[in-house]
Amino acid sequence: MNLTDLLPAAPEMTLLGLICVVLLADLFVEDEKRVITFWLTIAALFITGTSLVLTAQETRTVLFDGSYVSDPLSHVLKLTAVGVVAIGFMYARDYLHQNKLFKGEYYVLGLFGLLGTMVMISANSMLTMYLGLETLSLSLFALVAFDRNSATAAESAMKFFVLGAIASGALLYGISWIYGITGSLQFHEISEAIRTNPEINAVPLWFGLAFVIVGIGFKFGAVPFHMWLPDVYQGARSPVTLYIATAPKLAALALTLRILVDGFSGLHEVWQGMIMVLAVLSLVIGNVVAIAQTNIKRMLGYSAIGHVGFILLAVFCGTGQGYAAALFYTLTYVVMAAGSFGMVILLSRQGFEAELLSDFKGLNARSPWFAFMMLFFMFGLAGVPPWVGFFAKLNVISAVLDAGFPGLAVLMVLAAVVGAFYYIRVVWLMYFESAEERAILQAKVDTRFILSLNGLAVLAIGLMPGWLLSLCMRVLG
C-alpha cells in the first residue's frame, strides 16, 4: 500500500492537521489579537476546500478496508459544508466581538464539527458513520453551551445533549441488530447480504432498521423526534444557531443517503413507509406551528422541520430523481438558512439579540438593501419563483408525482402555501410597518459584502438552476 493510495482522504487529514495548528496557535495569541485565530481558521477552511477540489475524482474509491468512501456525492456535500461553515464564521465575527464571546474555542469547536460532518459524508460503514456523528454532536453540544453566562443556552444545551444521547443510543441499538443479522457494518456488504440472502429480509432486520431511522429522524429533527430543535435554535446564540442550521443538515442528508440508499436500497418498500410518516408529520406540524411563533429563530426552527419534510419525501421516492431532488433541496436550503440567520446576526448588536419578529419591523427604512436581501431569503425559503426555493420544491414535487404519489404532492403544495404565509409576514413587517427603533447596523464591510453575495446567490441559482440540478443528477446518477 502506497501513501498515495490515501490521497482521496487528504481533505480530512488536512483539516485535522490544521485544527491542531489553530488549537495550538490560539494558545499563544493574546486576547486583543484574537482576530489572528479567526483568519487562521478561514485560511484552514480555504486550504481544506482547495484540497477537496484538487483530490476530487469522478470515480468511486473505497479506502481503509471499506470504512471510507470518496465519490462525487461526497465532494459536492463536503465542499458545500466547508463553504457554509466559512460563511457562518464570517457572519459571526462582529457579533462575537460585541458580545465578548470572541474566543478561539468557538472556531476550534466549529472546525471539529466540520470534520465530523466530513467523516459522516464519506462514511462507508456504520462504525465510521457513528464516530463522525459523535464528533459532530459533541462539538454542537459544546457550541450551544458556549455562552456560559446565559441560562437559556445552558438549558437548551442540556436538552440537546440528553436527547442527542438517546438518539445515539437508538442508532447504536439498531446498528447492533443489523450487524447481527447481516454480519457486516459496511454499507455495500449489507446491501450484498440482503441481495444474496433474501430470507434475512424479515422482521428482525426491519426492527433494527426502524431504530436506525429513529436516529436519522433525531439528527434531521423530523417530527416526532423534533422536540430539541426549536429550543436549541432559540436558546443558542445566533452564530451557533446558524452553524446548527447549516452543516449538520448536510451531514444528516449524508447519513440518510448512505444508510438507506447505499446499504438498504434492497429494503426500499420497508423504509418507505417509515420515512413517509416522518415526512408528512414534519411537513404539517413544522409549517403550522411556525405560524404561531413570535421569535424568528424559533420560527426558522419550525420552518426547518417543514423543510426536512420535503427532503425526506424526496428520499422517500426511492428513485434517482428523488435522491437528486433531495440533494438539490438540501444544498439550496443550507445556503438560504445561512443567509436568514446571517440577517438575524446582522441586526443584533452588543447586548441586544434581534430575535423577535418585531425587531424586523420597518427594516426597509433603516437599511433598504438588507431589507431587500432578507426579502430574497424569505421568498427563497417560501418557494416564490424565481428564487431558488421554488425550483427545489418543484423538483421534489415532480419526483414524488413521477413515483406515483399524487396525494403527497398535493399535501406538499398545501404545506408550501401555509409556509409562504409566515415567510411573507416577515417581508410585510419589514416594508409596511414602521420601525420601533432606528439603530444603525454595525457590521463591517466584508460581512455586508458576503451577506449580499449570499442573497444574490439565492436569486442567481434560482434564475439558472440547470447546472446545479444536472450536477445533482450526475452525482447521484
Residues that bind other proteins (CB under 8 A): 9, 16, 23, 63-65, 67-68, 103, 105, 108-109, 112, 115, 119, 125, 127-128, 131-132, 134-135, 138-139, 141-142, 145-146, 148
Of 77 and 136, nearer to other proteins (C-beta) is 136
Of 112 and 360, nearer to other proteins (C-beta) is 112
What is the grid cell recorded at 189? Answer: 456488504
Residue 112 CB, shortest distance to other proteins, in Å, is: 5
Are 288 and 418 spatial neighbours (Cβ–Cβ below 8 Å)? yes
Residue 106 CB, shortest distance to other proteins, in Å, is: 8
Of 244 and 382, nearer to other proteins (C-beta) is 244
Residue 206 CB, shortest distance to other proteins, in Å, is: 24
Residue 264 CB, shortest distance to other proteins, in Å, is: 21
Of 65 and 269, nearer to other proteins (C-beta) is 65
Q: Which of 409, 244, 192, 206 is nearest to 316 (CA)?
A: 409
Residue 147 CB, shortest distance to other proteins, in Å, is: 10
Q: What whole-number distance in Å separates Cα of residue 186 and Cα of residue 179? A: 9
Residue 360 CB, shortest distance to other proteins, in Å, is: 32
In terms of C-beta density within 10 A (0-12 exposed, 13-18 middle, 19 or more buried), how is residue 442 classed? middle
Of 44 and 373, nearer to other proteins (C-beta) is 44
Of 15 and 344, nearer to other proteins (C-beta) is 15
Residue written as grid cell 427603533? 437
Q: How many whole angstroms from its chain centre is CA 22?
A: 24
- Sign (positive/negative) of CA torsion 353, 246, 280, 166? negative
Residue 143 CB, shortest distance to other proteins, in Å, is: 9
What is the grid cell recorded at 224? Answer: 416526532
Intra-chain end-to-end CA distance of the chain, in Å: 30
Per-residue b or e along 88-97, where b marks 16 or more CB atoms closer than 10 Å to that residue's CB: bbbbbbbbbb
What is the grid cell recorded at 191? Answer: 446491501
Of 107 and 316, nearer to other proteins (C-beta) is 107
Residue 386: what are its φ and ψ, rounded to 5°?
-95, 15
What is the grid cell recorded at 28? Answer: 499563544
Amino acid present at 337? A
